[in-house]
């Protein structure tokens, strides 16, 4: 009984972290594609998730001093890959309780809710209705890529791990 629960928890974690990692890679690639489409030669942030704000949130939550844009961007990338990979576990758990497409819909809604509330609350950004339209469009587009890639990956992993 305990071995079955441990095995199931391991499967959930493995599926979730792999799906979340693939989803994070898709989100990161989407930023690169958008930069090419816009022909942006610089690496200016495409939205709040792509800039220093996530790093500033990490530093604030850990009660660390501001380190500067380069270090804050690095901290933000570490956060993206860490929470992005871990957040995939939520899709696995939702999928155990809901049929598709409802699991993915709930997953996407949860992700966007966290994004649109946590940046203003923790990152001191304006509320989403005051974000510039291109920034908001990038935010929605990159998170849609994340959700889609995570759901597809989880769907494929179900066939392998179960």
Better pLDDT: 50 or 69:
50
Residue 31 tokens, joined: 């930023």
Average pLDDT over residues 59-75: 79
Mean pLDDT of 21-40: 90
What is the predicted pLDDT for the residue at 40? 64
Report the pLDDT value the prediction gives residue 96, as an integer from 0 to 100: 94
Burial 15-32 (b: 16+ CB within 10 A, else e): bbbbbbbbbbbbbbebbe
Model confidence over 99-119: pLDDT tens digits? Answer: 999 999 999 999 999 999 999
Q: Who wins on pLDDT, 38 or 31?
A: 31
Confidence of residue 72 (pLDDT cuts 50, 70, 90): confident
In sequence order, the 6+-apart residues with CB closer than 8 A to the CB of 36 are none
Residue labelled with tokens 């993206």: 80
Percent residues over pLDDT 90 in the chain:
59
- Say what the pLDDT of residue 27 is: 96
Predicted pLDDT at 78: 85
pLDDT single digits (tens) 114-159? 999 999 998 788 999 999 999 999 999 999 999 999 999 999 999 8
Radius of gyration of the chain (CA): 17
Q: Once rounded to an integer, what is the mean pLDDT over residues 5-27?
A: 95
> How far apart (Å, rounded) are the C-alpha atoms in residues 157 and 18?
9
Range 18-23 average pLDDT:
97
């Amino acid at each position: 009984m305990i071995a079955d629960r441990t095995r199931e928890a391991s499967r959930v974690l493995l599926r979730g972290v792999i799906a979340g990692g693939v989803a994070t890679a898709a989100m990161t690639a989407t930023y690169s594609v958008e930069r090419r489409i816009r022909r942006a030669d610089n690496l200016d942030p495409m939205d709040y998730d792509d800039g220093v704000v996530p790093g500033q949130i990490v530093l604030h939550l850990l009660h660390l001093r501001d380190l500067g844009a380069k270090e804050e961007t690095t901290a933000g990338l570490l956060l993206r890959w860490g929470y992005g990979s871990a957040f995939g576990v939520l899709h696995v758990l939702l999928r155990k309780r809901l049929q598709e497409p409802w699991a993915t819909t709930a997953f996407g809604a949860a992700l966007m809710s966290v994004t649109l509330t946590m940046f203003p609350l923790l990152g001191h950004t304006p509320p989403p209705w005051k974000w510039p339209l291109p920034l908001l469009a990038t935010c929605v587009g990159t998170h849609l890529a994340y959700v889609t890639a995570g759901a597809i990956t989880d769907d494929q992993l179900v066939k392998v791990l179960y």
